[in-house]
Amino acid sequence: MIETNDLWFSYGDREVLKGVNFKAKQSEVTVIMGRNGAGKTTLLLHLNGLLKPKKGEVRLNGTKVEYDKKSLFELRKRVALVFQNPDDQIIAPTVWEEVAFGPMNAGLSLENVEKALKLVGLEGYEDRLCGQLSGGEKKRLSIADAIAMDPDFVILDEPTAGLDQLGFDSTVELILRLKKLGKGVVVATHDFELAERVGDSFYYIEAGKIVYEGNRPNYELAKKLGIRSYGGKIIISSNAERSGEPTFRLNWNSRDELAEKILEAILKAYNGKDVVLVFEDGFIEKVRRALGELK
């Protein structure tokens, strides 16, 4: 487990973290949400010792983090941080050199380099120049950097910002795979769709204070805090009177699948996207019949 106890931090005299108590466990995904400037990144930077608390402490598996070279080195082997912007992280010329850099420096075996590339879907990219990768590929490369250290915790700062649907889906899959491998994953995000798909526990941070902790996102509070932009529309249409390309087709083969699609649609709209739900022919009839059955 990684935890912070009564963590205080300021940049100069600007207080940014004000007594943060936070916990993340292995084999779980812990999500941190909050408005721009709330202190998410600042908190993450403490989890692998890049920032030193002004007051309070960080503990890894019960042991208090000290800020000498040796314990920081140990901490960073166990806790890998992936930056919000991959360009802040990528330093080597080629993909292979980039992913091998961390393990090589830490005196670890290089057997994880290939595994990490495979896990993020960049196998075959070994000799490519990092500077020539697409935004989404850079993002995956920066995650491979972290995985190649075989850490206990992977900390992801806004992992889906700027990704398209495909990039989003593969990031979700990757996070769930890391969790299955027993890693603790910590994700800072504004994206409720991501939060719902991967999160086991949720923290909201506002002006440097934890204002919510739970095993479900709290949408009412999120709205009050203004964590996300709103305004996406849900457009409901039938096959006959199509309106736009469907985001989801609704059918009645399985109630679970239907419920899942509707929840996904609501989350997309909540995140500010327009969503078109298209009824398959006969859908309304089926709903009527099903409601009749329920009566």
Ligand X SMILES: Nc1ncnc2c1ncn2[C@@H]1O[C@H](COP(=O)(O)OP(=O)(O)OP(=O)(O)O)[C@@H](O)[C@H]1O
Residues that bind Mg ion (CB under 5 A): 40-41
x-or-dash string of contact with ligand X, 8-27, rule CB under 6 A:
---x--x-x-----------
Q: How far is the CB of 96 from ligand X (least distance, A)?
A: 30
Q: Which of 77, 138 has the CB closer to ligand X? A: 138
Q: How far is the CB of 259 from ligand X (least distance, A)?
A: 31
Contact call for residue 36 and ligand X (CB under 6 A): yes
Report the residue closest to Mg ion, judged by CB. 41
Q: Please choose which of Mg ion, ligand X, none residue 154 contacts, taking the beta carbon within 5 to 8 angstroms, the exact cut-off set by kind.
A: none
Residue 199 CB burial class (10 angstroms; 0-12, 13-18, ≥19): buried
101/149 Cα distance (integer angstroms): 10
Q: Which of 41, 238 has the CB closer to ligand X? A: 41
Q: How far is the CB of 284 from ligand X (least distance, A)?
A: 42
Contact call for residue 38 and ligand X (CB under 6 A): yes
- Total interface residues for ligand X by CB under 6 A: 11
Q: How far is the CB of 113 from ligand X (least distance, A)?
A: 29
36/43 Cα distance (integer angstroms): 13
Q: Which of 11, 70 has the CB closer to ligand X? A: 11
Contact call for residue 41 and ligand X (CB under 6 A): yes
Q: Which of 225, 275 has the CB closer to ligand X? A: 225
Residue 254 CB burial class (10 angstroms; 0-12, 13-18, ≥19): exposed
Q: How far is the CB of 4 from ligand X (least distance, A)?
A: 14
Q: Which of 51, 90 has the CB closer to ligand X? A: 51
139/64 Cα distance (integer angstroms): 31
Q: Which of 11, 256 has the CB closer to ligand X? A: 11
Out of 4, 30, 42, 171, the only residue in the binding site for ligand X (CB under 6 A) is: 42
Question: How many residues belong to the chain?
Answer: 295
Q: How far is the CB of 9 from Mg ion (least distance, A)?
A: 14
276/255 Cα distance (integer angstroms): 19
262/103 Cα distance (integer angstroms): 44
Contact call for residue 39 and ligand X (CB under 6 A): yes
What distances in angstroms separate CA 161 from CA 189, 225, 281, 289, one per listed residue? 8, 20, 36, 42
Q: How far is the CB of 189 from Mg ion (least distance, A)?
A: 10
Binding site for ligand X (CB under 6 A): 11, 14, 16, 34, 36-42
